[in-house]
Amino acid sequence: MRMKRSSLFAASALLQNVTASVGAEEIASLFEEASLDRQKFWAKQAECIEWFHPWQETLRWKAPYAEWFVEGKLNASYNCLDRHMKSETRYKTALIWEGERGENRSFTYEELFLEVNKFSNVLKNLGVKKGDRIAIYLPMIPEAVVAMLSSARIGAVHTVIFGGFSAEALKDRIVDAEAKILITADGAYRKGKVIPLKSTTDQALLDAPSIESVIVIENVSNKPLMKEGRDYWYADLMKEAKEYAAPEIMDAEDMLFILYTSGTTGKPKGIVHTTGGYLVGATMTTKLVFGSDPKDIYWCTADVGWITGHSYVVYGPLSNGMTQLIYEGAADFPERNRFWKLIEKHKVTILYTAPTAIRTFMKWGEEWPSSCDLSSLRLLGSVGEPINPEAWLWYYNHIGQAKCPIADTWWQTETGSIMVAPIASYTPLKPGSATFPLPGIEMAIIDDSGKEASSGYLVIKSPWPSMLRGIYNDPLRYKETYWKKWDGEYYFTGDGATKDDEGYFWLMGRVDDVINVSGHRLGTMEIESALVDYPLVAEAAVIAIAHPIKGQAVVAFVTLKDKALKEPFLEDALKEHVVVKIGSIARPEKIIFTADLPKTRSGKIMRRLLRDIAEGRVVGDVTTLADPQVMREIQLQYKEEND
């Protein structure tokens, strides 16, 4: 027995208040053009950005390596800034920043252009040349955007390292990228506390000899130690910098950035993205999925340390000339309505956030969003992992006030831009489904033999412009990770998926999160969704443990909604609820009730840490967690319930 899908929502009912920049007829023609001639389609889409010199060949493909827009010349920073200087957009607000303590700063496109040009000259004065790697280790402040665009402007390669990473994680990424410059801040604010980024940086640089200079932005005024001859204050360098730096002419296939993502070996993978194809993908999908109305105030809650922050905080929105909000701080500081107060204050029209955040908001209760005016919202987005139907409906009803469609998006660090998503005013929605691949994207679900199936592995059948170009300094790992499973015929996403009778894609999460119970493969996402469907449950994380008879058994870690009580009957009730939703094969062996789940600051649940606890192993690195103390509490709870 499979979990029932939520019923189809009619597009006309959901999308009545949506302003789309692309009409329904035009969208239909995009799908038709892409199906007739995919390369011609992408050549036309590449006109969404400005080129210094046109390309000679749209695609050169020798599996598994792609070259897009061969011999085309451009600059990503130019496309995000300079081209807007030719129109009224130069006077439009580009960034609205709010700090956790309520500080505010804003930049017009002209002001951001000036800041980026000056910092580009700062980098050049420190000896940075085209192709050099620059490490960026910053909180969500405007200077993070400035650093990325300045790097792109002078032809350097940026690697943004999430500000929540430990000194060890920071060091590993700097060493792998052989970065020449590190840009950091004296500290960051998190739930009223100061996170000392500069001291973490100093610890990391004890064993990172490639770094020649460190640029420090004063953010918290905590007077860190500064190493003479290596460390420089951002403000001091900017005072002396010239106000214009000509954008470097970049080849379409020149590297734009390296972004590290976790790997199964424990060593992070440096995903390489190049300039032309990536920028086409980010620019085109931003406009298509979010519909860039000139009056929009757009807010993507992602950190720039992740791919979502690259594509949908920096390059996609700025290339399209959008106004966006960025926020440094926690969603529950000083109270649990901070996000909703920000939307009310800044009249946000588009909110793009993660399912884990949405489920946390569910746990806190609808009284928090209901205390604020969210009527400015016209479109909601979801990103990061599959969103279960219950969370989708809560998001739709309590945040979107039953009038905003939800763009449930599927994509990866490796894909560079959105691959599967509904298009506002065009795609009928089903709660929990990312719907269909976007025009020009060829995807399929296949079985172990490589044949197309209704349930199995999610693959991409043909190259796309924003695809990764490899793993930095590790071509063998690139081939084995993404292309080996079907001898280079398909790109393997690592995710499982199903397709319903109407062709809708339902993402089931990573296939390495599949549990094999008595020969039956069960997706952790499906079981988690069944548990969260129970009225008292806020969040759930499901893992597998060894079982002497079944091979593997299901263990669920569950958090309850605020004010919900753990009654004696609740564990049995939840097990039966899973049986009703999925079938007896999915009945959890154990349910552990916890106050919280181990999550990164971006909201991702770290299931591997829960497996460490359940299997009695030493718990792995917890430095990336939003609250490392959570693991100690879960360990004690698990031990208590199993003694």
Main-chain dihedrals φ then ψ at residue 293, nearest 5 degrees: -70, 135
Q: What is the pLDDT of residue 13?
A: 37
> Is residue 221 located within the same domain as residue 340?
yes
What percentage of the chain reaches a pLDDT higher than 70?
93
* Contact between 186 and 200 (Cβ < 8 Å): no
Please check the confidence at residue 451 and state whether its pLDDT lies above 70.
yes
Confidence of residue 623 (pLDDT cuts 50, 70, 90): low
Q: What is the pLDDT of residue 520?
A: 63
154 within domain boundaries: yes
Give the mean pLDDT of 434-445: 98
Helix (H) or strand (E) holding 450, with range, is none
109 within domain boundaries: yes
From the list 310, 294, 371, the residue with the least C-alpha distance to 339 is 371
> Is residue 526 located within the same domain as residue 379?
no
* Contact between 129 and 151 (Cβ < 8 Å): no
Q: What is the pLDDT of residue 612?
A: 83
pLDDT per residue as tens digits for the range 260-317: 986 544 567 899 999 999 999 999 999 999 987 889 999 999 999 999 999 999 999 9
Distance CA 505, CA 209 (A): 47
2 within domain boundaries: no
Distance CA 113, CA 616 (A): 54
638 within domain boundaries: yes
pLDDT per residue as tens digits for the range 33-54: 999 999 999 999 999 999 999 9
Q: What is the pLDDT of residue 338?
A: 97
Main-chain dihedrals φ then ψ at residue 402, nearest 5 degrees: 60, 30
447 within domain boundaries: no
Q: Look up the CATH number of the domain holding residue 67.
A: 3.40.50.12780
> Is residue 490 located within the same domain as residue 529?
no
Q: What is the pLDDT of residue 198?
A: 97
198 within domain boundaries: yes
Distance CA 425, CA 21 (A): 10
Please check the confidence at residue 556 and state whether its pLDDT lies above 80.
yes
Please state which of the ranges 207-221, 382-396, 577-591 shows the lowest mean pLDDT: 577-591
210 within domain boundaries: yes
pLDDT per residue as tens digits for the range 112-171: 999 999 999 999 999 999 999 999 999 999 999 999 999 999 999 999 998 888 888 899
pLDDT per residue as tens digits for the range 231-266: 999 999 999 999 999 999 999 999 999 999 865 445
> Is residue 60 located within the same domain as residue 147?
yes
Please check the confidence at residue 579 and state whether its pLDDT lies above 90.
no
Domain extent at residue 198:
11-440+452-496
What is the secondary structure of 282-332 as a DSSP string?
Answer: HHHHHHHHH---TT-EEEE---TTSHHHIIIIIIHHHHTT-EEEEEES-TT
Distance CA 299, CA 343 (A): 9
> Is residue 474 located within the same domain as residue 554?
no
Q: Look up the CATH number of the domain holding residue 581.
A: 3.30.300.30
The pTM of the full predicted model, rounded to 2 decimals, is 0.85
Q: How many domains, the chain?
A: 2
From the list 452, 430, 453, the residue with the least C-alpha distance to 504 is 430
Distance CA 422, CA 289 (A): 7
Single-letter amino acid, residue 159: T
> Is residue 396 located within the same domain as residue 536?
no
What percentage of the chain reaches a pLDDT higher than 90?
72
Give the mean pLDDT of 551-562: 89
Distance CA 165, CA 172 (A): 11
> Is residue 462 located within the same domain as residue 550?
no
> Is residue 403 located within the same domain as residue 528?
no
> Is residue 139 located within the same domain as residue 249?
yes
Give the mean pLDDT of 210-232: 96
pLDDT per residue as tens digits for the range 391-426: 999 999 999 999 999 999 999 999 999 999 999 889
Place of tokens 């400035």: 146
pLDDT per residue as tens digits for the range 2-38: 334 444 444 333 433 344 456 788 899 999 999 999 9
Q: Which two tokens stand for residue 322?
A: 């959008």
Please state which of the ranges 154-158, 210-214, 550-554, 616-620 shows the lowest mean pLDDT: 616-620
Q: Are strands 470-471 and 269-274 parallel, antiparallel or unpaired?
A: antiparallel
> Is residue 483 located within the same domain as residue 529?
no
> Is residue 485 located within the same domain as residue 545?
no
Of 97-111, 290-304, 520-534, 544-558, which one has max mean pLDDT?
97-111
Q: What is the pLDDT of residue 626?
A: 65
273 within domain boundaries: yes
Mean of pLDDT over the chain: 90
pLDDT per residue as tens digits for the range 312-356: 999 999 999 999 999 999 999 999 999 999 999 999 999 999 988
Please check the confidence at residue 553 and state whether its pLDDT lies above 70.
yes
> Is residue 277 located within the same domain as residue 204?
yes
